[in-house]
Chain A
Amino acid sequence: MGIGCFAWAAYGIWAQSDAQLDAAAGVSVPSVEPSPSPVPATPEPALYPEHPAKGDKIGSLEIPVLRRTLPVIEGTGAKELARGVGHYAGSVLPGEDDNCVLSGHRDTVFRQLFKVKIGDPLVVKTSAGTFTYEVKRTRIVHADDKTVIVPADHAVLTLTTCYPFNYIGSAPDRYIVSADLMMSD
Chain B
Amino acid sequence: MVSMLSYDFMQRALVAAMLTGLAAPAVGTYLVQRRLALMGDGIGHIAVTGVGLGLLTGWAPPLTAVMVAVVGAVLIELIREKGNTGGDVALALLFYGGIAGGVLVVGLAGGSAATLNTYLFGSVTTVSPSDVWVVAGLAVTVVSVSVGLMPQLFAVCQDEEFAKVTGLNVRFYTLLTSVLAAVTVTVAMRTVGLLLVSALMVVPVATAQQVTRGFRVTLGLAMGLGMVACLAGVSMSFYVNVAPGATIVVLALGGFVATWPVGALLRRRLRRSSPTEVRAVHDLETVPVTHPHQHGDDCGHPAVLHVDHVDYVHDGHRHTAHDDHYDEH
A binds B: no
Give residues in B with beta carbon < 8 Å to A: none
Give residues in A with beta carbon < 8 Å to B: none
